Amino acid sequence: MQVITLQESDLPELIELAHTTAYERPLNEAALRARTFDEISVRRDLLLGAREDGRLVGFLLSVVRENRGIITLFGVHPDYRRRGIATDLIHTFHERCWAQGLTQVAAEGSGPGYFWPGVELCRSAAISLLMKEDYETDRNARVDMRVDLDSADLDTASAEEALAGQGIAIRRATADDLASTKGLALQFFSRGWLLEVEDVQRFSPTPLYVAVHGDEVIAFAVYDVTGYGCFGPTGTRPDMRRRGIGSVLLKRCAQDLRARGDSIMEICWAGPVNFYTNEIGAQIHRAYWGFRKTLT
Q: Tell me if 2-141+288-294 shares its fold with 151-262.
A: yes
The average pLDDT across 161-180 equals 97
**Beta pairing partners, 212:** 169, 217
* pLDDT one-digit tens code per residue, 271-289: 999 999 999 999 999 999 9
Q: Please check whether the domain covering 151-262 is classified as CATH 3.40.630.30.
A: yes
CATH no. of 2-141+288-294: 3.40.630.30
* pLDDT one-digit tens code per residue, 69-110: 999 999 999 999 999 999 999 999 999 999 999 999 999 999
Cα of first residue to Cα of last residue in the chain, in angstroms, is: 27
* pLDDT one-digit tens code per residue, 122-145: 999 999 999 999 999 999 999 999
Neighbours of 146 (CB within 10 A): 17
The band of 113, judged by pLDDT with boundaries at 50, 70 and 90, is confident
Domain boundaries, the chain: 2-141+288-294, 151-262
**Beta pairing partners, 208:** 222
Helix residue ranges, H only, the chain: 11-21, 29-35, 85-99, 124-132, 157-164, 178-188, 191-198, 245-259, 273-280
Please report, for residues 5, 8, 47, 54, the alpha-carbon distance to residue 13 in angstroms, rounded to integers and kept in the order given.
14, 10, 14, 11
Predicted TM-score (pTM) of this structure: 0.92
Tell me how far apart the alpha carbons of residues 234 and 268 are, in angstroms, rounded to a whole number. Answer: 11
Tell me how far apart the alpha carbons of residues 61 and 30 are, in angstroms, rounded to a whole number. Answer: 16
